[in-house]
Amino acid sequence: MMTTLVGRLDLLTSEGGLYEKLEDKDLRCFACGHRCLIREGRRGICQVRFNQDGELRVPWGYVAGLQIDPVEKKPFYHLLSGADALSFGMLGCDFHCSYCQNWLSSQALRDPASDVSGRYIREISPQQIVHYGQQGGAQVVASTYNEPLITIEWAVAVFEQAKKAGMKCVFVSNGNATPEALDYLRPYLDGYKIDLKTMQDRAYRQLGGVLANVLDSIQRASELGLWVEVVTLVVPGFNDSTDELMDAARFISSVAPNIPWHVTAVHPDYKMTDPPRTSARILERAAEIGQEAGLHYVYAGNLPGRLAEYEHTNCHHCGFRLVERYGYIIMDYRLTAQGTCPQCGAQIPGIWTDDLSTVRIGGPGMPRRLGF
């Protein structure tokens, strides 16, 4: 089964754009923070980028997931809130988180148990992906589900078409980026959701990453003018201590206090099936810590209605309720077409629609699968 999946994916490739050729047909890949040295005939840590006769081959021409999601599901709360996002994903990841909530896609070629993901592969063109989004009324195109950094060339090909159609483009990523990857994305990308999984480098390395790479990505993405939102999946016993949450919140605030921080609940999955689910009280405490650290917009997710105060967007200046949410559903939307607070006139940080008729009020707030 593994060989069959490898063989199929290796045919669905193109030459990569983020690498340098070295001596003896070796090459160096720059797509993610691992910066893999890949010898001829070998693969990078992600397993989906490989060296074929001195040329980097990268995933191309397929999706393993394609559906329309509320943009709040990504989550983006300050980027066209109330809009739908055409979400596409491939297979593979450069991390191996034991609690991965999307492991069937992310661990392809790394864990035989994820081989069933191969049945979802559909060959498709960038133009077709964008067409499906337009048919479904999506205003945003999101590279998501697997780790998009390792399929970055395909994402850019899709984003090029999306930009021509007037759509916003976003990445939903672990943030293990390189400066080269961010520069490669910058002409096409509007928003970058980054996971900040822990503030302990040792714990990050257990997941397959390096803390400094993620912190640098948050800083650099913000400096490049991308709209950044940060998510911390709060895992009891792993990253939920008061000190660690405070460290995370203080770092984000030091970059920009207007960066939204989402603290979300984990459910047991993949190899971590024994920890308790994140309680509402733990998330409430995390959100309070974020506010104490100086963050202006802190949200608690994955527990609709149980932490209502942390689902809504309020004006940081006067406290006026701007966006009222229940889970992914927009219950009320009061920002002006200029993205300002109607009560005090303050400009609210983010990317907001100037056509209020496009905001989905009271809609289903659920993903919509596409038949193709």
Domain assignments of the chain as residue spans, ordered by start: 2-59, 62-353
> CB neighbours of 36 closer than 8 A, spacing ≥ 6?
28, 29, 44, 45, 49
- How many Å apart are CA 67 and CA 369, to the nearest integer? 5
71 DSSP assignment: G
What six digits make up the tokens of 263? 């603290």
Torsion from C-alpha of 36, 40, 42, 44, nearest 10 degrees: 20
**Helix, strand or coil for residue 173?**
strand
pTM (2 d.p.):
0.95
What is the full per-residue pLDDT of the chain (372 aa) written as tens digits?
445 888 999 999 999 999 999 999 999 999 999 999 999 999 999 999 999 999 999 999 999 999 999 999 999 999 999 999 999 999 999 998 887 877 888 888 888 888 888 889 999 999 999 999 999 999 999 999 999 999 999 999 999 999 999 999 999 999 999 999 999 999 999 999 999 999 999 999 999 999 999 999 999 999 999 999 999 999 999 999 999 999 999 999 999 999 999 999 987 777 777 767 899 999 999 999 999 999 999 999 888 888 889 999 999 999 999 999 999 999 999 999 999 999 999 999 999 999 999 999 987 666 666 655
CA 330, 188, 143, 350 torsion-angle sign? negative
What class has domain 62-353? Answer: alpha beta
